[in-house]
Amino acid sequence: MPKIGNIELPDFPLLLAPMEDVSDPPFRALCKEQGADVVYTEFISSEGLIRDAAKSVIKLDIYEKERPVGIQIFGAELDSMLQAVDIVEKSNPDIIDINFGCPVKKVVSKNAGAGILRDIPLMVKLTEEMVKRTHLPVTVKTRLGWDSDSIKIVEVAERLQDVGIEAIAIHGRTRVQMYKGEANWKPIAEVKNNQRMHIPVFGNGDVDTPEAAMRMRDEYGLDGAMIGRASIGNPWFFKEVKHYFKMGTHLAPPTMEERVEAARRHLQMAIDWKGEKLGVFETRRHYTNYFKGIPHFKEYRMKMVTSDDSSDVFAAFDEVLEKFGDFQFV
Ligand SMILES: Cc1cc2nc3c(=O)[nH]c(=O)nc-3n(C[C@H](O)[C@H](O)[C@H](O)COP(=O)(O)O)c2cc1C
């Protein structure tokens, strides 16, 4: 069974990917309840943390019920990253994850995220010093390389392992690819097949069906799957994959009652965490996916995403259950 440091995981664990504005405490809690074995925060700026920027600091909030949880940070300045490690430790996560994969320009231009794939010695040095700084297990999330001509992930992963990381998650795209094309899991399998690798190697990118997760396990031999987009508005995805692995059959899609209950709990947890105003506002982006595919739903969706008062949103959920309670999802 794979382990991250002393954290014991089940066979072929499913990890909730770090996703900006998505992987917040309420969403992580819902995914955890539905079978995610490890959850990660969205990426947090090391520079923001050391300036004590409220926007960054609130992202450190974690809850007991989520564990094991990793806090992900990004940056390219050694001193800032080390100070950020000290700050992150105070939140007592189970794991500190380093983001070496974010492709967006404003991050990459500062050599952070996937930008560091152009400077492997710096990547290794930062990682080594961060590992030395903390008693917590450090993991890395990265991409295959900067571009298709510079895929050195087998060597990179081994060097990161040698400076002490406890697991690596690899998104099967290069920085240049951004999110385009299909994720290529072959180089990730090559990392896993390197005889010198002994830490878990998790695959990431396009695991959007239980069958895909199974291929990642059986054909590519990876130690677990990190799941991002397939879970947005669909925390049940983790349960579906686990059911498929165990039974070889597909679970029926969640009923309307389950969806309404998830939406209700999501909203309530968001309000408990950030207060009424922000809770109502930030949960809006999730409803479209919870209630996808229902005909003549616009009126209700509009109520959910335009009401500023949580009681109106909760009332809209009640109406939806009453009106569409028997709707059969496919
Ligand atoms: C909305 C969104 C936000 C993301 N934010 C982060 C992030 O904060 N940190 C990170 O390492 N990756 C981030 N990613 C990348 C995902 O973690 C993941 O690597 C990518 O979506 C591929 O996996 P998937 O095909 O399962 O979605 C983000 C992706 C999306 C769609």
Ligand 1 atom nearest residue 141's Cα:
11
Residue identifier of the C-alpha nearest atom 13 of ligand 1: 19
| Closest-CA residue to 4 (of 149, 245, 170, 201) | 201
> For a substitution probing ligand 1, which of 184, 229, 231, 282 has the most ligand atoms within 8 Å of its CB?
229
Residue identifier of the C-alpha nearest atom 31 of ligand 1: 229
Residue identifier of the C-alpha nearest atom 2 of ligand 1: 19
Q: What confidence score (pLDDT) does residue 330 get?
A: 85
Binned average pLDDT, 10 residues per bin, the chain of 330 residues:
97 98 97 98 98 96 97 98 98 98 97 97 98 98 97 98 98 97 98 98 98 98 98 96 98 96 97 97 92 94 96 97 93
Exposed e or buried b for every residue in 103-131, given b needs 16+ CB within 10 A? Answer: beeebbebbbbbbbbeebeebbebbbebb
Q: What confidence score (pLDDT) does residue 153 get?
A: 98
Residue type present at position 249: T
Q: CB neighbours of 126 closer than 8 A, spacing ≥ 6? A: 76, 78, 81, 98, 116
- Catalytic site residue from 50, 82, 102, 216: 102
Q: Does the annotation mark 31 as catalytic?
A: no
Give backbone dihedrals phi and psi of 236, rounded to 5 degrees, phi first: -70, -10
**Ligand 1 and 70: CB distance under 6 A:** no
What pTM value is reported for the model?
0.97
Contact 137, 94 (CB under 8 A): yes
- Dist. CA 225 → ligand 1 center (Å): 13
| Closest-CA residue to 25 (of 216, 265, 212, 314) | 265
Residue identifier of the C-alpha nearest atom 7 of ligand 1: 19
**Ligand 1 and 206: CB distance under 6 A:** yes
